[in-house]
Structure 1
Amino acid sequence: MSSARPTPQPRDHYRAFRPITTRWMDNDIYGHVNNVVYYSWFDTAVNALLIERGALDIHQGGTIGFVVETQCNYFAPLAFPQTIEAGVRVAHVGSSSVRYEVGLFAEGAPTAAAQGHFVHVYVDRATQRPVALSAALLAVLDTLR
């Protein structure tokens, strides 16, 4: 494990972006977005991209993704009423898993206010056993590397 302190990544580290609107309820008593909300934004950014690009059908698809690992580093506060820009890239593709990296930017900011990763393991919906990544998913993942 590296002892080097993480540093915020610039926008060009990420391959796709999507806006996320903060909500009043996202703020905590300290006046900024609560840390657990960042993880929901990671999930939203990745899954929305996969759905929009035809690689994931959450309602009828035979394959679904389970999050098995997640991590986040925080660099600057975000708060309602900001628009967040979530950057996504793929860091690693395995036979049934993908490590996504996500950067959360205040609208127009040059570096991430927070960044982290999560790992999806793709499983058969019925058996919940790992399955090989589909050709459709692999095609989308290639655009995010």
Structure 2
Amino acid sequence: MSKVSYIENMESWRSEFSFYIPIKIRFSETDMFGHVNNVSPFIYFEEGRIEFLKSIGMFNNDYSGGMPIVADLQCDYLKQMYFNEELRLYVKADYIGTTSFDVHYMGINGEGDLCLAGRGRMVYIHPETGKPVPLSDSMKSSLQAK
């Protein structure tokens, strides 16, 4: 397997995930070669990220006054995936800063193979000004707990 730039120790990185959602690859997500199109993992990442953030309360009224937005997103394709295959898409918070945090993604197929690795920076912004606002202590605690 090729080295992934944001993962120092693959075994340790994999062991830090607990939250996941199931993904069943639909026919419409494959390309003419029969494997998952390169844009589809970003849709999986979005679905996983939203469910992860909902699970820690970031889409509840608990954190009014701001909203998380995606500042960057990347994906490393490590193994091909095909129609009707089932994945577990794991999501975790990694780096947590003053106004932003990194989210990491891990896609594992039914055989336990790592198919996808990803990361993205989320910035917490004020919805009217678009300016970054600090993450509250309770938000940071929720992110660290998962």
The verdict on a shared fold, with TM-score over 0.5 as the criterion, is yes
- Extract unaligned runs of 5+ from structure 1: none
Q: Give yes or no for the alignment of 1:97 onto 2:95.
A: no
Q: Give the Cα separation in 2 of the matches to 1:21 and 1:136.
A: 33
% identical equivalent positions = 23
Are residues 20 and 136 of structure 1, via their aligned partners in 2, closer, same or farther at CA, if it must alter by over 3 Å? farther
Partner of 1:68: 71
Query: TM (normalized to structure 1)?
Result: 0.83
- How big is each residue's C-alpha offset from its partner over 1:66-102, in whole Å with a ceiling of 9 and x where there is no partner? 2111111111111221221111122200101011110
CA contact (8 A) 1:97 1:120 kept: yes
Q: Give the Cα separation in 1 of the matches to 2:64 and 2:84.
A: 35
How many residue pairs were aligned?
139
Secondary structure in structure 1 of the residue aligned to 2:36: coil
Are residues 128 and 95 of structure 1, via their aligned partners in 2, closer, same or farther at CA, if it must alter by over 3 Å? same
* More divergent stretch after superposition (40-49 vs 27-36): 40-49
Higher relative contact order (CA closer than 8 Å, sequence separation 6+): 1
Query: TM (normalized to structure 2)?
Result: 0.82
* More divergent stretch after superposition (64-73 vs 96-105): 64-73
From 90, 93, 104, the counterpart of 1:87: 90
After TM superposition, what 4+ stretches of structure 1 lie above 6 angstroms from structure 2?
A: none
Q: Give yes or no for the alignment of 1:48 onto 2:46.
A: no
RMSD: 2.4
1:125: how far off?
A: 1.3
1:17: how far off?
A: 1.4
The aligned amino acid for 1:112 is L
